[in-house]
Amino acid sequence: MSTSCTSPDRNQIRHWLTTTNPHDLDELWRQADAVRRQHVGDAVHLRGLVEVSNRCTRNCLYCGIRLANSKVPRYLMTTEEILDCTRIAVEAGFGTLVLQAGEDESVAASWIAEVISAIKRDTDLAITLSLGERDEADYRLWREAGADRYLLRFETGDDKLFDTIHPSLPGRRSDRLALLGLLRETGYEVGSGILVGIPGQSFDSLVADIERFGSLDLDMIGVGPYIPHPDTPLAQHSERFLLADGEQVPNTVEMGYRVLALARLICPRANIPSTTALATLDGPAGRELGLQRGANIVMPNLTPQKYRRMYEIYPAKAASTEAAEQSIAGALSQIRALGRTIGSGRGDSPNLLKDC
């Protein structure tokens, strides 16, 4: 199990989340980088991200593509457009395509299955899905069509906070932890993660979330700072949610790095991306620092430019207007400049080998 390696205990996690001593923080970055190198090596795997649709029936209080945000024009990519992205991913030597979307039944399960089959027919790409909470039958259908991995962040393990910021749909209680178990049973490689610094998120709950990464034995972990979107209730009324100073986790980029580094210590063999949220807050240095503080994955955005601005889960998503070719070239030169190599093959999670 990944948890048996170098896991810091609860008190160490809390210390590293709250310390103001720069030497202690340097030690955290150093350990995360060393554990990353020892367990997943210097290769950085590239995943091509395709934001298939911004249609969404949910009203998450943090997310810019929530149903109630009528300012966002809605789109659904065509099969041909997705296959064009697939070709770009293959030409660039990527091992994985990530299909992400809002949660909407009009993004039909049968159509997604056809897209998966078409990609699998033409390429050796691994396919990761990030399509939110769907019926068990959909998850099974997509797995049978050839999808390999599923990303579903539990966002926060504080049930009360989660229910507030991620309201359940009528008659269907959101239970992302249960869904992660179901996804695992269905045969997916499973990824999850959290938002860092959600108004209302306490250090106690953040410590518990980081410990949970280990008990869930995640193959992939995505974490990033919460970035307020002006057209959402959480941004408009943050004062209603914020905890007292000292209790409230700040949504700073630095707190994002701390959680990323701790995720690496807790799950040494997981695939962990240097997320776009870090690059959005910290510019190009954000991706680099993520890679130096535990991450081993980069996800260049391959979504056609005409749709980029519409997939605005938070404002100024990094490089939101950059063409796919530019975003790939930028990622490659950054990785090489760090002395890291570009991963070849699918980049399956070493965590599945379970022998650390």
- Please, are residues 309 and 325 in contact by the beta-carbon 8 Å criterion? no
Pick one of 62, 75, 150, 257: the residue that binds ligand SAH (CB under 6 A): 62
Q: DSSP states of 301-320 as a string? A: B-S-HHHHTT--SSTT-TTT
Instruction: Scan for tokens 């997310």, then name that residue.
Output: 63
How many residues of this chain interact with ligand SAH, rule: CB under 6 A? 18
Interaction of residue 102 with ligand SAH, rule CB under 6 A: yes
Nearer to ligand SAH, 62 or 139 (CB): 62
User: What is the end-to-end Cα distance of the chain in Å, rounded?
Assistant: 7
Interaction of residue 161 with ligand SAH, rule CB under 6 A: no
The residue whose Cβ lies closest to ligand SAH is: 132
Q: Which two tokens stand for residue 162?
A: 């989660």
Distance CA 55, CA 103 (A): 7
Nearer to ligand SAH, 220 or 313 (CB): 313
Nearer to ligand SAH, 153 or 269 (CB): 153
- Smallest distance from ligand SAH to CB 333, Å: 26
Sites for ligand SAH among residues 181-210 (CB under 6 A): 195
- Please, are residues 264 and 217 in contact by the beta-carbon 8 Å criterion? no
- Smallest distance from ligand SAH to CB 10, Å: 24
Interaction of residue 47 with ligand SAH, rule CB under 6 A: no
Q: Which two tokens stand for residue 46?
A: 């590239």
Nearer to ligand SAH, 229 or 287 (CB): 229
- Smallest distance from ligand SAH to CB 124, Å: 25
Q: Per-residue x/- marks for ligand SAH, 211-250, CB under 6 A?
A: -------------x-xx-x---------------------
Bridge partners, 43 (sequence order): 341
Pick one of 92, 103, 264, 287: the residue that binds ligand SAH (CB under 6 A): 103
Pick one of 143, 149, 153, 293: the residue that binds ligand SAH (CB under 6 A): 153
Nearer to ligand SAH, 35 or 131 (CB): 131
* Sign of the CA dihedral with 351 first, then 143, 111, and 313 last: negative
Residue in 232, 191, 199, 192 with CA at minimum distance from that of residue 314: 232
- Smallest distance from ligand SAH to CB 151, Å: 7
Nearer to ligand SAH, 317 or 340 (CB): 317
HSE-up of residue 17 (Cα within 13 Å, Cβ side): 30
Pick one of 138, 148, 155, 288: the residue that binds ligand SAH (CB under 6 A): 155
Beta-strand relationship, 220-225 and 341-342: unpaired
- Please, are residues 325 and 48 in contact by the beta-carbon 8 Å criterion? no
Nearer to ligand SAH, 35 or 270 (CB): 270
- Using the contact rule CB under 6 A, the part of the chain among 36-44, 82-90, 147-155, 333-341 near ligand SAH is 147-155
Phi and psi torsions of 216, nearest 5° = -80, -10
- Please, are residues 296 and 43 in contact by the beta-carbon 8 Å criterion? yes
- Please, are residues 299 and 276 in contact by the beta-carbon 8 Å criterion? yes
Distance CA 241, CA 100 (A): 28
Q: Per-residue x/- marks for ligand SAH, 279-318, CB under 6 A?
A: ----------------------------------xx----
Beta-strand relationship, 220-225 and 43-53: unpaired
Torsion angle defined by CA atoms of residues 319, 320, 325 and 330, in that order, rounded to the nearest 10 degrees? 10
Interacting residue ranges for ligand SAH, rule: CB under 6 A = 62-63, 100, 102-103, 130, 132, 152-153, 155, 195, 224, 226-227, 229, 277, 313-314
